[in-house]
Chain A
Amino acid sequence: MRCGVVVFPGSNCDHDVYHVLKHVLGQESAFLWHGDEDLRGSNLVVLPGGFAYGDYLRAGALAALSPVMAAVRRHAEAGGLVLGICNGFQVLLEAGLLPGAMRRNRELRFLCRDVWLRVERDDLPFTCGYEQGQVVRMPIAHAEGNYEDTPEKLDALEAAGQVAFRYVSPDGELDEAWNLNGSARAIAGVVNERGNVLGLMPHPERSAEELLSNTDGLALFAGTVGAAAGAVGVGR
Chain B
Amino acid sequence: MSAAAGALAAGARAAEPATGPAAAEPEVDLAQARARGLSEEEYEKLCGLLGRTPSFTELGIVAALWSEHCSYKSSKADLRMLPTEGPHVVHGPGENAGVVDLGYGLVAAFKIESHNHPSYIEPYQGAATGVGGILRDVFTMGARPVACMDSLRFGDLDAPRMKYLVDGVVRGIGDYGNCVGIPTVGGETGFHPSYNGNVLVNAFALGVARRDRIFTARATGAGNPILYAGSRTGRDGIHGATMASEAFGAESEQKRPTVQVGDPFTEKVLLEATLEAMRTGAIVAIQDMGAAGLTSSAFEMAGRGGTGVRLDLDRVPLREPGLSPYEIMLSESQERMLIVARRGRQEEVARVFRRWGLEVDKIGEVTSGDRAVVTAGGRTVADLPVEPLTAGAPVYRRPASPPTDLAARRRPPEVPAPPGGPAGALEALVTTPELASKEWVWRQYDHTVRTNTVIGPGGDCAVLALKGTPQGLALTCDVNPVYCWLDPASGGAQAVAEAVRNLATAGAEPVGLTDCLNFGNPEVPEVAWQFREAIRGIAAACEALGVPVVSGNVSFYNETEGRQIHPTPTIAMVGVVPEIDRVPRPHFTAAGDRIVLLGEDRAEFGGSAYLRLLFGVEQGVPPRVDLDAESRLAELLRVLAFNGAARTAHDLSAGGLAVGLAEACFGAGLGARVELPAGGPALFSETQARALVACAPDQAARVLRLAETSGVPAREIGEVGGGELVIGADGETDRLGIEPLRTKWATALPRALGL
Q: Which of A9, A54, A110 contacts B178 (CB 8 A)?
A: A110
B45 beta carbon closer than 8 Å to chain A: no
Q: Chain A residues near B175: list those with CB within 8 A.
A: 110
Query: Are B451 and A206 neighbours in the complex by a CB distance under 8 Å?
Result: yes
Chain B residue at minimal CB-CB distance from A107? B755
Convert A49-61 into 0s and 1s, putting 1 for each residue whose CB lies closer than 8 angstroms to a CB of B.
Answer: 1110111100000
Query: Are B356 and A112 neighbours in the complex by a CB distance under 8 Å?
Result: no
Query: Are A111 and B268 neighbours in the complex by a CB distance under 8 Å?
Result: no
Q: Chain B residues near A112: list those with CB within 8 A.
A: 178, 442-448
Q: How far is the CB of B209 from chain A (nearest CB, A)?
A: 15
Query: Are B265 and A10 neighbours in the complex by a CB distance under 8 Å?
Result: yes
B400 beta carbon closer than 8 Å to chain A: no
Query: Are A211 and B454 neighbours in the complex by a CB distance under 8 Å?
Result: yes
Residue of B180, B268, B448 with most partner-chain A CB within 10 A: B448
A211 to B463, CA, bound (A): 11
A12 beta carbon closer than 8 Å to chain B: yes
Q: Which of A13, A110, A208 contacts B444 (CB 8 A)?
A: A110
Q: Chain A residues near B357: list those with CB within 8 A.
A: 9
Q: Chain A residues near B269: list those with CB within 8 A.
A: 9-10
A203 beta carbon closer than 8 Å to chain B: yes
Tally of A interface residues using CB under 8 Å: 31
A139 to B263, CA, bound (A): 26
A212 to B580, CA, bound (A): 11
Convert A96-128 into 0s and 1s, putting 1 for each residue whose CB lies closer than 8 angstroms to a CB of B.
Answer: 000000000000011111000000000000000
A111 to B453, CA, bound (A): 17
A53 to B448, CA, bound (A): 21
Q: Which of B356, B449, B450 contacts A9 (CB 8 A)?
A: B356
Query: Are B265 and A54 neighbours in the complex by a CB distance under 8 Å?
Result: yes
Given A211-B454, A211-B581, A10 contacting B448 (CB threshold 8 A) = no
Chain B residue at minimal CB-CB distance from A54? B265
Query: Are B179 and A111 neighbours in the complex by a CB distance under 8 Å?
Result: no
Query: Are B450 and A16 neighbours in the complex by a CB distance under 8 Å?
Result: yes
A141 beta carbon closer than 8 Å to chain B: yes
Q: Which of A12, A13, A139, A205 contacts B268 (CB 8 A)?
A: A12
B52 beta carbon closer than 8 Å to chain A: no
Q: Which of B263, B449, B465 contacts A54 (CB 8 A)?
A: B263
A111 to B170, CA, bound (A): 12
B181 beta carbon closer than 8 Å to chain A: yes
B459 beta carbon closer than 8 Å to chain A: no
B264 beta carbon closer than 8 Å to chain A: yes
Query: Are B178 and A141 neighbours in the complex by a CB distance under 8 Å?
Result: yes
A194 beta carbon closer than 8 Å to chain B: no
Q: How far is the CB of B413 from chain A (nearest CB, A)?
A: 40
A203 to B183, CA, bound (A): 14
Q: Which of B171, B268, B454, B467 contacts A51 (CB 8 A)?
A: B268
Query: Are A51 and B264 neighbours in the complex by a CB distance under 8 Å?
Result: yes
Tally of B interface residues using CB under 8 Å: 32
Q: Chain A residues near B584: list those with CB within 8 A.
A: none
Given A51-B264, A54-B263, A212-B454, A13 contacting B181 (CB threshold 8 A) = yes
Q: Which of B263, B445, B580 contacts A211 (CB 8 A)?
A: B580
Query: Are A109 and B444 neighbours in the complex by a CB distance under 8 Å?
Result: yes
Q: Chain A residues near B453: list those with CB within 8 A.
A: 212
Query: Are A12 and B180 neighbours in the complex by a CB distance under 8 Å?
Result: yes
Query: Are B451 and A19 neighbours in the complex by a CB distance under 8 Å?
Result: yes
A139 to B446, CA, bound (A): 10
A209 beta carbon closer than 8 Å to chain B: yes
Q: Chain B residues near A20: list those with CB within 8 A.
A: 451
B569 beta carbon closer than 8 Å to chain A: no
A40 beta carbon closer than 8 Å to chain B: no
Q: Chain B residues near A109: list those with CB within 8 A.
A: 171, 444
B174 beta carbon closer than 8 Å to chain A: yes
Q: Which of A55, A141, A205 contacts B446 (CB 8 A)?
A: A141
Near B by CB (< 8 A), chain A positions 12-50 give: 12-13, 15-16, 19-20, 49-50
Q: Chain A residues near B449: list those with CB within 8 A.
A: 12-13, 16, 49, 141, 206
A20 to B451, CA, bound (A): 10
Near B by CB (< 8 A), chain A positions 188-236 give: 203, 205-206, 208-209, 211-213
Query: Are A16 and B446 neighbours in the complex by a CB distance under 8 Å?
Result: no
A20 to B180, CA, bound (A): 21
Q: Chain B residues near A212: list those with CB within 8 A.
A: 448, 451, 453-454, 465
A110 to B175, CA, bound (A): 8
A19 to B264, CA, bound (A): 24
Query: Are A111 and B467 neighbours in the complex by a CB distance under 8 Å?
Result: no
A110 to B268, CA, bound (A): 18
Convert B531-542 into 0s and 1s, putting 1 for each residue whose CB lies closer than 8 angstroms to a CB of A.
Answer: 000000000000
Given A9-B357, A10-B269, A54 contacting B179 (CB threshold 8 A) = yes
A13 to B450, CA, bound (A): 7
Residue of A12, A16, A111, A212 with most partner-chain B CB within 10 A: A12
Q: Chain A residues near B263: list those with CB within 8 A.
A: 54
A4 to B581, CA, bound (A): 31
A206 to B452, CA, bound (A): 9
Q: Chain A residues near B178: list those with CB within 8 A.
A: 51, 110, 112, 141, 143
Residue of A51, A109, A112 with most partner-chain B CB within 10 A: A112
A73 to B640, CA, bound (A): 55
A203 to B444, CA, bound (A): 16
Query: Are B265 and A53 neighbours in the complex by a CB distance under 8 Å?
Result: yes
Given A9-B269, A51-B264, A51-B265, A110 contacting B174 (CB threshold 8 A) = yes
Q: How far is the CB of A178 from chain B (nearest CB, A)?
A: 15
Query: Are B444 and A10 neighbours in the complex by a CB distance under 8 Å?
Result: no
Query: Are B181 and A50 neighbours in the complex by a CB distance under 8 Å?
Result: yes
A95 to B734, CA, bound (A): 60
Residue of B174, B451, B581 with most partner-chain A CB within 10 A: B451
Near A by CB (< 8 A), chain B positions 248-290 give: 263-266, 268-269, 272
Chain B residue at minimal CB-CB distance from A52? B265
Query: Are B443 and A111 neighbours in the complex by a CB distance under 8 Å?
Result: yes
Query: Are B265 and A56 neighbours in the complex by a CB distance under 8 Å?
Result: yes
Chain B residue at minimal CB-CB distance from A138? B448
Q: Chain A residues near B180: list those with CB within 8 A.
A: 12
Given A9-B268, A12-B181, A51-B264, A141 contacting B448 (CB threshold 8 A) = yes
Q: How far is the CB of B749 from chain A (nearest CB, A)?
A: 14
Query: Are B450 and A211 neighbours in the complex by a CB distance under 8 Å?
Result: no
Chain B residue at minimal CB-CB distance from A24? B451
Q: Chain B residues near A16: list those with CB within 8 A.
A: 449-451
A56 to B443, CA, bound (A): 23
A83 to B181, CA, bound (A): 20
A203 to B445, CA, bound (A): 15
Q: Chain A residues near B446: list those with CB within 8 A.
A: 110, 112, 141
Q: Chain A residues near B179: list those with CB within 8 A.
A: 10, 12, 51, 54-55
Given A9-B269, A10-B269, A54-B263, A113 contacting B451 (CB threshold 8 A) = no
A209 to B264, CA, bound (A): 29
Residue of B175, B446, B454 with most partner-chain A CB within 10 A: B446
Near A by CB (< 8 A), chain B positions 391-448 give: 442-448
Chain B residue at minimal CB-CB distance from A11? B181
Convert B158-179 into 0s and 1s, putting 1 for each residue whose CB lies closer than 8 angstroms to a CB of A.
Answer: 0000000000000100110011
A9 to B353, CA, bound (A): 12
Query: Are B450 and A15 neighbours in the complex by a CB distance under 8 Å?
Result: yes
Between A and B, 20 residue pairs with Cβ closer than 8 Å are: A9-B356, A12-B179, A12-B180, A12-B268, A16-B450, A16-B451, A50-B181, A51-B181, A54-B179, A54-B263, A110-B446, A112-B444, A112-B448, A113-B443, A141-B178, A203-B448, A206-B449, A211-B465, A211-B580, A212-B453
8 cross-chain pairs, A with B, having the tightest CB-CB distances, nearest first = A12-B181, A54-B265, A141-B446, A51-B179, A16-B451, A139-B448, A206-B448, A9-B269
| Other contacts beyond A55-B265, A113-B443, A206-B449: 16, CB < 8 A | A9-B272, A10-B268, A10-B269, A12-B268, A16-B449, A51-B178, A51-B268, A53-B265, A112-B442, A112-B443, A141-B448, A143-B178, A206-B448, A211-B454, A212-B448, A212-B454
Binding site for B on A (CB under 8 A): 9-10, 12-13, 15-16, 19-20, 49-51, 53-56, 109-113, 139, 141, 143, 203, 205-206, 208-209, 211-213
